[in-house]
Amino acid sequence: MLFPDEENTVQIAPEAFLLKGFLLGQSEALLQSLSNVIAANPLRHMATPNGYQMSAAMTNCGEWGWVSDEKGYRYSRRDPVTNELWQPMPIPFVQLAISAASTAGFDHFIPDACLINRYAVSAAMSLHQDKDEANFTQPIVSFSLGLPATFDFGGATRDAPKVAVYLEHGDVLVWGGQSRLNYHGVRRIKPGVHPLLGPYRYNLTFRRSQP
């Protein structure tokens, strides 16, 4: 357990929690692992099925990787850029994702996919659901590293009221159960320079994509 108490665990919706500062003290192992993954499977701006380019640069690690192009949104075993298998999920990633899920009340979480988003200043992510997975019984675990961001966590419909969550380096969001398919998004990243990651925010999202 990384928390000495529960003061840093904040419920933002039913079965959805902010774990404030959960990753602090883990930066060295996380950032070295992140660097290794990106070196093998470089970041890129994927296209949406409608032909638009996503403002966040993306890559993956794990057994499966989330990809988007003119064929649609889906999970793939291979990086479409290199045609190689995605890099295995680094052990620090797996251990911390499982620990975060357990802290939020989701035991037995075994992620098989980690989507890595790099947000430059002014990049954003519009409201969406994480619904390309075959398994909705498992939670979403989302790490925040680098520049801060405002995360909008909504409800089961796009127009449902939203909670604005301020995310800083080291924070983790976990949501599942009755909130698993809630809409969520990231507002435009404001200018800044993080001492470890420069003018970027990195978001690592862990999922169970397969049954």
Q: Under a CB-based contact definition with an 8 Å cutoff, are residues 93 and 61 in contact?
A: yes
Residue 7 pLDDT class (50, 70, 90 cuts): confident
- Judged against a pLDDT cut of 60, whether residue 4 lies above it is answered with no
Q: What pLDDT, on a 0 to 100 scale, did the predictor assign at position 6?
A: 58
Alpha carbon distance 116, 98 (integer Å) = 17
pTM, full prediction? 0.95
**Euclidean distance between CA atoms 89 and 153, whole angstroms:** 27
pLDDT at 129: 97
Contact 48, 72 (CB under 8 A): no
Asked if 145 and 195 count as a contact pair (C-beta separation under 8 A), the reply is no
Beta bridge partners, 44, equal 58
- The residue type found at 46 is M
Confidence of residue 5 (pLDDT cuts 50, 70, 90): very low
* Mean of per-residue pLDDT scores for the chain: 95
Higher pLDDT, 90 or 52: 90
More confident residue, 51 or 65: 65
User: What pLDDT digit, counting tens, does each position of 59-113 carry?
Assistant: 999 999 999 999 999 999 999 999 999 999 999 999 999 999 999 999 999 999 9
Copy the structure tokens of residue 177: 């159960």
pLDDT at 1 (0 to 100): 35
